[in-house]
């Protein structure tokens, strides 16, 4: 559990996943979950960034899409 920095205030923000209170500093920068819940959610999403020829970078989250982007693939 994260350290609470809202001691002495009326309300600490509550995690949208587990309902536990978490640090006000974390809430103020835009997070709506406590650190353990946020870390668990971030581990569910896998992605990589691909440099496309003569184009910008592209974030890829689907392995099949990544395979289709490779023109030298064999299968």
**Residue-level pLDDT at 7:** 60
Separation CA 40–CA 37 (nearest Å): 5
Q: Within this chain, do residues 40 and 50 fall inside the same structural domain, yes or no?
A: no
Q: Indicate the burial class of 34 (C-beta count within 10 angstroms; 0-12, 13-18, 19 or more).
A: buried
**Residue-level pLDDT at 2:** 46
Q: Within this chain, do residues 62 and 72 fall inside the same structural domain, yes or no?
A: yes
Q: Within this chain, do residues 39 and 56 fall inside the same structural domain, yes or no?
A: no
Residue 71: which of 57, 50, 56 has the closest Cα?
Answer: 50
Q: Which domain holds residue 38?
A: 1-44
How many structural domains does the chain have? Answer: 2
pLDDT interval class at 9 (50, 70, 90) = low
What residues does 60 pair with on adjacent strands?
A: 48
Q: Within this chain, do residues 40 and 54 fall inside the same structural domain, yes or no?
A: no
Q: Within this chain, do residues 30 and 12 fall inside the same structural domain, yes or no?
A: yes
pLDDT per position as a tens digit, 65-74: 888 877 676 6
Q: Within this chain, do residues 1 and 37 fall inside the same structural domain, yes or no?
A: yes
pLDDT per position as a tens digit, 35-62: 999 999 888 877 788 888 777 888 888 8
């Amino acid at each position: 559990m994260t350290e609470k920095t809202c001691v002495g205030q009326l309300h600490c923000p509550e995690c949208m996943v587990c309902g536990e209170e978490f640090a006000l500093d974390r809430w103020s920068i835009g997070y709506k979950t406590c650190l353990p819940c946020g870390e668990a959610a971030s581990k569910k999403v896998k992605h990589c960034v691909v440099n496309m020829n003569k184009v910008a970078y592209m974030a890829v989250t689907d392995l099949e899409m990544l395979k289709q982007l490779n023109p030298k693939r064999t299968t």
